[in-house]
Structure formats: C-alpha cells, structure tokens
Amino acid sequence: MSLIIRQALAKNAQEKRAMQAQWNHVQELRSAGDPAMKAFLQMTNAGRSPAEAYREFDATTKIEVNPMGEFATLTRLMQKARPVNIGKTLYEYRKSSDMDNGQTSMSGQIGVKLDHTDYGYAGVIVPVHDKGFGRSWRDVEAMRSEGFDALVDDAREAELGLMRTMNSFLFAGNAGLSVDGQKWLGLTSGSETTVDTYTPTIDISSSTATAIEIQTEIKVARDRLRITNNCVNPVRVGVSAAAMSNMERFVSADTWTLGTIKDLVLKLEGIAEIYIDSALTGGKFIMYWDDQMGLHPVVGMGINTYAVTRQFHNSDFAFVKWSAVGFCAKTSFSGKKCVLFGNK
C-alpha cells in the first residue's frame, strides 16, 4: 500500500478489497464532477479525456524516498502501510499476552496446568487530509492559448501541500482530533504514549561530541528497543541535517581509514539505516521498527483528485485532493514499544 491506489502493492486479498473500495469511492466522486471536468477540457483545448487529465493530476505522487529529506520518514512508512475501508475512522488492533512456561518432571504424571492468553485492544484514528485548488472561470478562458499546464502546476503544488499536512500530522499529531478517546499526538511531541521518549546525554549534532560518544548514545537508544522492549528487527534512525553533517566527520583526525562517525554507528548490530529527515532539528532523532508490527500508516484513502461540480456558467473550476491516513505505533500487551524519540 502506498500514497497512491495501486492494487499491485496489496499484500493479500483483504488489502486488495480495501484498495478496490477506495478506488470505487474515487470513481463515484469523479463521476459527479465529470461535467465540470469536460467543460474545463473543452475551454482549454487540452485534447484530453477526463481520465487522462486525472492521471496527469495524480502523476506527482511517488513512493520513492526524497533524497533531500522532506517526507523521508513518510515515504519510507508508506511502503509498509495497511489499507482499510474509508468508513473506519478508528482502526483497532488486538494485543495478546504471553503464557507462563511449561513444566518438567521425570514421570509426566504431575498434572497438566491449563493456561490461556489474555487480550487487550488499542486503536489509531484515521483522519481525512485535503487540499483544494482551482482557477476562476475567466482565468480558464485566458488559458485557452496556453494549454493545460497551469492546472497541472497547481495540482503538483496542492499535492505537496497535502503531503506536508500529512507529514506534520505524523511528527506533531493533533490533540484536537479524537475518536472514542483515541488520539495521535505525533512522533516528536513527547506526549504520544505509544512512543518511547528518551533524553540523550549528549547532542549528536554537536561538533564537540566525540565519535565514541555519538555511537554510544545511539547504542543506548537501540538497546532500549532491542533489549528492553524486545524489538528484534533492524531499526531505522532518522536524524536532522545538522546531525548527519556532524556524523560525516572522520573518526580520527590522524587517518581517514577508520571511516566517518556514521560508518562507526552503522557497525552497531541492528541499525538498518541512518537518514536525514527535515522535520528533525538539532540533536533530535527517531528510531523505529517500520513494519505492520511496529510503526506503519493506516490508509483509508490514497491521495486522489476529483473535480467539484459547477452550478452556474460563471462558477469557478475547483478541484479537491484528499486522502485519509493515520499512523499506528503498535505496543504489546505488556506495554513494550518499538518506536523511540530521542529528544535532545
């Protein structure tokens, strides 16, 4: 599952059904606005069908990671997303406890003790994110000789704005949105109960921090996830641009053969990647297990575009880009977490 509705990315039949339901919903919205889209294409002499126009509007959504750091965490997570029906404003998952160990005897005649698992439930909200764009009807008239490009540019910038809204929700959350008492307060708010907040002893972006100090700091955070919380899968580490620049220093000023501080950190067991995310500043960092058992998005609707129905001859040409995406940082029955925020 990704930001775009592409059934080839579905992992199983259940996800494929959810994505098909999302696509059917988009088609209903587009059918309602079909006259407006056809009128727009006729006025611009674009020579395109509504389906071709929508493909061009939606073409800027990709699942490749952004090398400049914007949406770096978001695009990584979207490749591990779980699709659900748009009607689910709250996605709930079940947490099961473990059992006591078995018993050992020579005779096997000491009586079998029955045991069972206990269950708990947790949930994550799936809010709607949207962004409108468009042109006045007279602007569209003026575009006759310019073709279709202006609205394509509008669509691109609207989509970037929509993704920035989702990215802000991922990192900062929104305390004002709640379903049955469930909220998402963000990866870096320090208030999200499903995220382990850790206070480093040193600033990994500081030029005065030594290579060993920086590696040790990341190691302590890794151990909180892998040893204390039993998150045994490799973790990803997102850092600020300042921290990444600092970790490009050589371990030793005497010789470059020892590599950089980043090279030293990557030698730690279970560190899959260190990357820049522009949402992080200074010595702040995030560490997480990106999987449907750890941190992942829940997508009720992939990003799509539809035309708003026009009522009069001088109604504006308006379009809406929207999606429904929430973020889930799963915790175990005993409260173990697989997402950490280093708040320095």
Least confident of 135-144, 303-312, 322-331: 135-144
The pLDDT confidence band at residue 317, using thresholds 50, 70 and 90, is confident
Domains, the chain, in order of start with CATH, read: 7-96+120-186+300-326 (3.30.2400.20), 196-288 (3.30.2320)
Taking residues 286-313, report their average pLDDT: 90
Over the stretch 238-248, which tens digit does the pLDDT of each residue have? 999 999 999 99
What is the pLDDT at residue 64?
46
Strands, sheet with 339-342, edge to edge from the N-terminal-most edge strand? 196-198, 339-342, 285-288, 235-239, 271-276
Instruction: Give the rounded percent of residues in the chain with a pLDDT score beyond 90.
Output: 47
The percent of residues in the chain predicted with pLDDT above 70, rounded, is 78
State the pLDDT confidence band at 333, using cuts at 50, 70 and 90. Answer: confident
Highest mean pLDDT among 6-10, 32-36, 176-180: 176-180
**Cβ distance 308 to 318 under 8 Å?**
yes
Q: Which residue has the higher pLDDT, 73 or 8?
A: 73
The pLDDT, as a whole number, for residue 80 is 86
258 or 129: which carries more pLDDT confidence? 129
* Average pLDDT score, the chain: 83
Q: What is the mean pLDDT of residues 206-227?
A: 96
**Residue where the block lists tokens 């494929």:** 16
**pLDDT score for 174:** 95
Higher per-residue pLDDT: 23 or 82: 82
16 has a pLDDT exceeding 60: yes
Question: Between 206 and 136, where is the model more confident?
Answer: 206
Residue 201, pLDDT > 90, answer yes
**How many Cβ atoms are within 10 Å of 153's Cβ, its own excluded?**
11
pLDDT of residue 96: 47
Instruction: Count Cβ atoms within 10 A of the Cβ of residue 141 and give its class: 0-12 exposed, 13-18 middle, 19 or more buried.
Output: exposed
- Reported as a single tens digit per residue, the pLDDT across 51-74 is 666 666 665 554 445 556 889 999
